Amino acid sequence: MKTELRSNWSNAVLVCAKCSKRVDGGFGDKGRTPLAKALRRHLKLRKGRKGAAGVVEVKCLGVCPRDAVVVVNGAESRTWHLVRPASDLDEVAAAVGLSEDRTSPERGGGPPA
């Protein structure tokens, strides 16, 4: 059995699923899309490990802000982000380290060599 797998992720971002539920999604046209899904769609990320970056919903991170979603970039774990519903997704992506140039193939976001 294999003990390792390759992935195309240049980055992994954790998004609190419970926060997303508490703000009733908060993103997308109707404001009902969860942040993780909205970010994946906005950045045109493929599903699973084939995507240029990973956006993963996780359980409650213990911060539980009143009107925001907690997001943690795995590579910058010392700074956690509180994202307000309906925030601009370009700004959110840049803030959490998922801006498009970081997830593009030229910047290491493509398939492994």
Residues of this chain that interact with ligand FES (CB under 6 A) are 16, 18-19, 22, 60-64, 70
Identify which of residues 21 and 102 has a Cβ nearer to ligand FES in the complex: 21
Helix and strand numbers (H, E) in the chain are 4, 4
Pair of tokens at residue 9:
């992720």
Instruction: Name the minimum Å distance from CB 58 to ligand FES.
Output: 9
Instruction: Name the minimum Å distance from CB 29 to ligand FES.
Output: 24
Distance CA 2, CA 9 (A): 19
Contact at 8 Å (CB) between 89 and 96?
A: no
Identify which of residues 7 and 87 has a Cβ nearer to ligand FES in the complex: 87
Identify which of residues 60 and 75 has a Cβ nearer to ligand FES in the complex: 60
Identify which of residues 22 and 102 has a Cβ nearer to ligand FES in the complex: 22
Instruction: Name the minimum Å distance from CB 19 to ligand FES.
Output: 3
Q: Going by DSSP bridges, is the β-strand pair 69-73/80-83 parallel, antiparallel, or unpaired?
A: antiparallel
The CA dihedral of 22, 23, 25, 29, to the nearest 10 degrees, is 170
Instruction: Name the minimum Å distance from CB 21 to ligand FES.
Output: 8
